[in-house]
Chain A
Amino acid sequence: MRPMVATVVTARPWEAAFVQAATAGARVRLVARIGDAPQLARLIGRFDVLVVGAETAWLEPWIPGALRRLGHSSIGVHADGDTVGARLVDDACLRFDEDTPPEMLIAGAVSLGQSRTCNSERSTTVPQTQR
């Protein structure tokens, strides 16, 4: 089954690269590029995995955890060395730095989609050596 993935639109190149890779391939279904928090609220229940960058202006640290409780997985993306940004996505199921190739993000979304949701209490940062 192809997981339904939504991203939060950002100006950072990783998101455009992710969208391009997701639509060119067929491993995930890209169902939305979310612009603001109300749109995210409206889409609850209509995606499996949310890919969100720490640069998102309205992102709060509790949002990934709240999504998890609602049955959604999330992937947090932050700049390498950005400790404030990393804290914002600390509760995401998977965390990547923004230089990660989009295929790796897609692989993460597929694995989260297959398990439906992450059950771990703590998120997992994918170390450089596993990429």
Chain B
Amino acid sequence: MTTSHYEPNDHPDLQSLDEHIGRQFEDVLAAEQYAARISAQRRMTLRDRLVRAEDLTCDVAIQTTTGTITGPLSAVGADHVLVGGRSVIAIAHIVCFEQTG
């Protein structure tokens, strides 16, 4: 007799039912987690990604409307980022950024 996960009395006649319920439960958990992952990505903002890059202590290449600035991402403010300890860039002016190291 196998140890039941969902049928508390561990009755042998209910083993297949227990396995079926177990599989369904795992499927629901997996679908729930997949949805949560996609949902988290869809809610993510440019600033969230910059904060993540700062936490990873990444070097970045930030492209703005006037050019590209590269260097370590020193800090992320409420509306700007600091690159290389000296270049302050408004987040609203960032066209794209790339983690380079």
CA distance A55 to B35 in the complex (A): 14
Residue from the list A11, A23, A29 in contact with B32, Cβ < 8 A: A11
Query: Interface digits, A5-43 against B, CB 8 Å rule (1 contact, 0 not)?
Result: 000011100011000000100000111010100000000
Confirm or deny: B51 has a beta carbon within 8 angstroms of a beta carbon on chain A.
yes
User: A9 to B48, Cβ gap below 8 A?
Assistant: no
Between A and B, how many residue pairs show CB distances below 8 Å? 43
| Cβ-defined contact, A9 with B29, below 8 A | no
User: Do A57 and B30 touch across chains, with their CB atoms under 8 A apart?
Assistant: yes
Given contacts A11-B35, A23-B51, A31-B52, contact A56 B40 (CB under 8 A): no
User: Which A residues lie at the B interface, using CB under 8 A?
Assistant: 4, 9-11, 15-16, 23, 29-31, 33, 35, 55-58, 84
B39 to chain A: closest residue by CB: A11
* Contact of A56 with B52 in the complex, beta carbons under 8 Å: no
Q: Which of A4, A30, A57 is in CB contact (< 8 Å) with B33?
A: A57
